[in-house]
A and B are shown apart, each in its own frame.
Chain A
Amino acid sequence: MTENRKKLLEVKHLKQYFNVGKANEVRAVDDVSFDIYEGETFGLVGESGSGKTTTGRSIIHLYQPTAGKIIFDGQDISKLKTRKEFLAFRRKMQMIFQDPYASLNPRMKIKDIVAEGLDIHHLAKNDQERSQIVEDLLETVGLNRDHSSRYPHEFSGGQRQRIGIARALAVRPKFIIADEPISALDVSIQAQVVNLLKELQEKHGLTYLFIAHDLSMVKYISDRIGVMHYGKLLEVGPADDVYEHPLHDYTASLISAVPVPDPEYERQRKQIVYDASQEKDLPDQPRKLREIVPGRFVRCSEAEIPKYRQRALAAEKQGANNY
């Protein structure tokens, strides 16, 4: 199914190191490769410090990658040089941030926040058209038209996140990176924002990279999931498969730790503890992301493939029995 879809984003052997060559060198992202197809939502999960946010920031070119390639819409973004090229690139790719309190300028009116992209890219011919676009956008994200002349402090967290979404949509991007867009929000509001993102995706044919630590929410919104740990991508696959039948031990331990709103389940829950030392890299058996069964990838050495393949096939069998 995925083979004949168009790849919108290709991340190839991305490395993002900080303090290179110094004693405190940090390998925040270490040889990460994945593709995102047009129209899908790719969820990136991991604990704090796993490098998921850094990956997102490298993709939108807030950092200059240490090594590797990022190809977006057929274009290698490390080859972008001029301001004009960057403008064209950033019009196609936008970002939604985690903290709706810190990401809106408190001194700007909502209409100016939302229209900033329009102004930079000269997308509105005159003032009238500009306010028209802004008001339409506010309506799209579920706010009122007359909210446009207010300031950010007049809005709740959920409403602010909607403003952030309207700002990202203003330049009509193809691709949106949502970095923990709901973790600062209350439970009842989280569902509102996630549903809005889904709705907008259907309406505008958007592609998302959804970065979060909340596994159950990621599973719900994503088509495919990538699991990161210590700067490395350990497992990639369809959301339901990864969640219900994780192949990598780390994924299994992560999923076993998610609390479920079901006391019966919680009473029987057994947490799987992941031992990172078993994953030591051996020089003669390099580990990299390998395809185990079509569409499912695990970071492993050549010798470990049969073990994971067996797990995948067992999961498939179990899945078939369930239907």
Chain B
Amino acid sequence: MVERILDVKNLKIDFHTYAGEVKAIRDVSFHLNKGETLAIVGESGSGKSVTTKSIMGLLANNARVIGGSIMYHGQDLLQKTEKEMQNIRGKDIAMIFQDPMTSLDPTMKIGQQIAEPLIKHKHMDKKKAWQQALEIMKLVGIQDAEQRINNYPHQFSGGMRQRIVIAIALVCYPEILIADEPTTALDVTIQAQILDLMKELQSKIETSIIFITHDLGVVAGMANRVAVMYAGEIIEYGTVDEIFFDPQHPYTWGLLNSMPTLSSTKLEAIPGTPPDLLDPPKGDPFAARNPYAMKIDAEKKPPFFKITDTHYAATWLLHPDAPKITPPAEIQRRWKIYAGMMKDKAK
């Protein structure tokens, strides 16, 4: 049995705004296995960043946790005080932010910034921490680390800065690394380098990663398991092969369909926009944009239907009484590949 390192259960978070209560996270449950990479995919406003911020205890002041728990080593992170969280943050659970331009302190030498967590959490003396900072800089592929350690952030390019941010996050060898769109601000060639680096480091220091992104291409290359979020809920989760080759939720179909692949000739856009979470719809939140929506979708929220032990999707289409439908051609193509994979496995 794989060890669950983090277990999020029935998480509900509201944001208080002038317009009313925005129900940003509506009953989200997932877990992170030791050593794996879990990708959380979704559009902006789907709640993927709020979820991870709640794990880190970094929610905005107007956020309110309505219910749920985040279990880490038998303790609920939501019950911890700010002081206790400060001892976990950066040491056991670390985070890489989206924008390498704003997540570094422009007035501090990067060596100092990398050594800071060591001095704070591991109570190292300055000299030793500096030495360790030098080592991790080499590990993340910064050339001439001995000289560069004395530089300031503005002396580095975007890709190099993101390497530094990764170095800071990894310097304490955290058990969990949360990467919130770590490559979105970077060029594709630099993105490829950073992703390769993250994969390599993961095997070296055995950390578990929660990877947040909206880019399905990045997910395909990085993740072991994938959770798809929509309108503050997880609507489908499974292994990377199950999500990409045997997707069951019409929203997952829509996402896969609206991305150009090497061979695609026509893009199928998802019509409309996500629902307003000030007043979330009663039934399936995706119903209004779903060409396969049925009457029940508007009335009752679908539960999770089990496809395999690892693969679940919340759509009424999986109910035994649901009518047979024909998914889009691109999805049928993917299903065929999946059928082939299953056959190979059976052999």
Contact = CB atoms under 8 A, between A and B. Distances in A.
Contact of B216 (A219, A220, A261): A261
B244 A186 contact: no
B343 to A, nearest CB: 15
B262 A260 contact: yes
Interface residues of B, number: 40
A253 B189 CA distance: 8
B188 A213 contact: yes
A254 interface: yes
Contacts of A215: 188
Interface string B14-48: 00000000000000000000000000000110000
A257 B191 contact: yes
Contacts of A266: 217, 220-221
Nearest to B186: A48
Nearest to B196: A271
- The A contact surface, by secondary structure, is helix
Contacts of B255: 187-188
Most buried by A among B44, B221, B268: B221
Nearest to A218: B260
A152 B270 CA distance: 23
A263 interface: yes
Interface in B202-226: 214-221
B188 A263 contact: no
A188 B188 contact: no
B189 A261 contact: no
A192 B261 contact: no
Interface in A192-223: 192, 194-195, 213, 215-217, 219-220
Contacts of B218: 259
A271 B13 CA distance: 41
Given A261-B217, A263-B220, A220 B267 contact: yes
B320 interface: no
A66 interface: no
A271 B44 CA distance: 29
A260 B217 contact: yes
A271 B259 CA distance: 21
Contacts of B267: 191, 194-195, 220
Nearest to B185: A48
Nearest to B258: A191
B147 interface: no
Contact of A261 (B158, B187, B244): B244
A213 B158 CA distance: 16
A216 B216 CA distance: 13
B244 A271 contact: no
A259 B216 CA distance: 8
Interface in A32-59: 47-48
A270 B226 CA distance: 23
B81 to A, nearest CB: 36
B65 interface: no
Interface string B241-281: 10011000000001110111110100111110100000000
Given A186-B43, A189-B273, A260-B262, 14 more contacts: A47-B187, A187-B255, A188-B43, A188-B255, A188-B258, A189-B43, A191-B259, A191-B267, A192-B269, A192-B270, A220-B267, A260-B217, A261-B216, A274-B189
Chain A to chain B: the 3 pairs with minimum beta-carbon distance, closest first = A259-B217, A191-B269, A191-B258
15 contacts: A156-B273, A186-B43, A189-B273, A190-B258, A191-B258, A192-B269, A213-B188, A216-B262, A219-B260, A253-B189, A254-B188, A257-B191, A262-B261, A263-B241, A263-B245
